Amino acid sequence: METFTVEAVVLKTDDFGDANRVVTLFTKEYGKLEANAYGCRRSRSPLSGAMQMFNHISAQITRGTKVDTIRDADILNFYDALTKDLERLAYASLLFEIVNRMTFPRQQELETFELLTKSLPVLSTRNPKIAALIGACQFMETSGVQLNFSRCVHCRKEIVGDAAISLLDGGAVCLDCIDAAQDTRPYPEALRKTFETMLGFNWRNDIKLTFNTRQLNAAENFFIEYVQSILGTGLKSVQFIRDFIN
Ligand SMILES: [Zn+2]
């Protein structure tokens, strides 16, 4: 049977049986992969410790006819703060859930892999809500379903000052086109600048990360509504954030 090595982040885990886990990896080489990690919940297992969400690992996987199996794994980086701090856990889960729900298996997406590995240290040390929103915003940009935040989706003019925005039409609407647009809502200049700053963020850990609280909350609510409208269902991590964080 073919065995191959991947570098990956652990996107999701689901326990089954006495000590096993189905692990969803986002790999550098093949994009999203699911594999079984048998016995990994036993402390003596060579996989013990590595098969945890948010770990950055290197793993050996054997291809199976129905399911792949993780044989061995080494932890390259782990982020303790993400499992110990409820707010960090909640927002890191939000970013990881969005990536998991909006990617297809076995499609290599190097940009997404790099986004996940770069966002983890920022999520574990800086404001996790801001880090998760930046990550989600940048991920949507690479996934090809991003809203147009800076140009009017009707006349393509660059947006200046306050305008409107429409989820149905796919982004910003200038005041001249507002009558032609469907289901618009206000899109203040400050909210546009918040999105533009997030899209331009370069993930250096020393960079300034401050946003006006009101605009940040508006960006969060707006963005989550947009993602959920694409998915057609709610995100579990959003429920968790609403129940325990906000
Ligand atoms: Zn327009």
Ligand 1 centre from 159 Cα, in Å? 8
Superfamily in which the 3-77 domain is placed by CATH: Nucleic acid-binding proteins (2.40.50.140)
Ligand 1 centroid–CA 178 distance in Å is: 7
The CA 152 to ligand 1 mean position distance, Å, reads 5
**β-pair partners for 9:** 26, 56
How far, in Å, is the centroid of ligand 1 from the Cα of 157? 6
pLDDT in tens, the chain (246 residues): 799 999 999 999 999 999 999 999 999 999 999 999 999 999 999 998 999 999 999 999 999 999 999 999 999 999 999 999 999 999 999 999 999 999 999 999 999 999 999 999 999 999 999 999 999 999 999 988 889 999 999 999 999 999 999 999 999 999 999 999 999 999 999 999 999 999 999 987 667 778 889 989 999 999 999 999 999 999 999 999 999 887
Instruction: Please provide the CATH number assigned to the domain covering 80-151+157-244.
Output: 1.20.1440.120
User: How remote is the CA of residue 175 from the centroid of ligand 1, in Å?
Assistant: 7
Within the chain, what is the greatest distance between any pair of CA atoms? Answer: 66
Q: In the chain, what are the domain boundaries?
A: 3-77, 80-151+157-244
pLDDT at 22: 97
| Spatial distance between the Cα atoms of 55 and 77, rounded to a whole number of angstroms | 6
- Ramachandran quadrant class, 203 (left: phi over 0; alpha: psi -120 to 50; beta: rest): left
Distance in Å from the first CA to the final CA of the chain:
49
The b/e string for 55-70 (b: 16+ C-beta within 10 A; e otherwise) is bbbebebeeeeeebeb
CA of 173 to the centre of ligand 1 (A): 6
- Say if CB 1 and CB 64 are below 8 A apart: yes
Ligand 1 centroid vs 169 CA: distance in angstroms?
A: 12
Q: Which residues of 195-219 are buried (b: 16+ CB within 10 A; e: fewer)?
A: bebbeebebeeeeeeebeeebbebb
Ordered alpha helix ranges (H), the chain = 80-84, 86-101, 110-125, 128-143, 189-200, 213-231, 236-244
User: What's the 174 CA to ligand 1 centre distance in angstroms?
Assistant: 4
What pLDDT does 211 receive?
A: 87
Contact 178, 164 (CB under 8 A): yes
